[in-house]
Structure 1
C-alpha cells in the first residue's frame, strides 16, 4: 500500500541547539535507511505561510505499519502528522505495471 504522510516538526523555542543538531542528524540517517529499504519513496517540502510542511510518499503493508515506521523517527515527539491512504484512480495517466497487464 502507498501512503501520503504530511508532517510538521516544531521544536520548542528554548530547545537545546546541540540536541536539535544531533536529532536532525539522526533523523537524516533514519530517513536514508527507510529510503534504502523502499519504505520511503519520495519527500517534498510545501510552504504554508511561514510553516514548512514535509510531504512523504511511503510504502508499507498497512496503515499501522507505516505509523510504526514514522514512530521510529528521532523527531517524532515533536511532529504533527496526518496519514492518507492512497488508492489508484481510474483516470491515472500512469497506471502501475500490474494494472496495465490486467487491461490487456
Structure 2
C-alpha cells in the first residue's frame, strides 16, 4: 500500500502533466502569439471526438458520392481539393496533447508500486 508521501508525489506528477497540457482542451498559455486562430467550443473530449468523426464522414461521403457538393461560388475547386482542406482541419484539431496526457495518466495509475 502506498504511503501518504508517495500518493502525494503521484498526484503532483499528474498535476504537472495537466499543467503542461496544451491544445483545444488545455492551457490557453500554449497558443502561439504569432498565428491567427479560429476557435470553437467543445463540451468535453467525447464531443470533440464526435466533431472529428463527423468531419471525416463528410470526407468519405464527398469522395464516394456522385453528387456535386461544392458551393456554387466555389465551382473552380474540385471535391478532392475540398476534402484535403477538411482533412487538414481535422489534423489541426486532433487532441494529441490530451491523448498524451491520458497515456501518461494511465501509466501512472496502472503501476501501483510508484
TM over 0.5: no
Larger radius of gyration: 2
Would you tell me which structure has more strand in proportion to its own residues?
1
Which TM-score applies when normalising by structure 2?
0.27
**RCO (CA 8 Å, sep 6+): is it higher in 1 or 2?**
1
Which TM-score applies when normalising by structure 1?
0.28
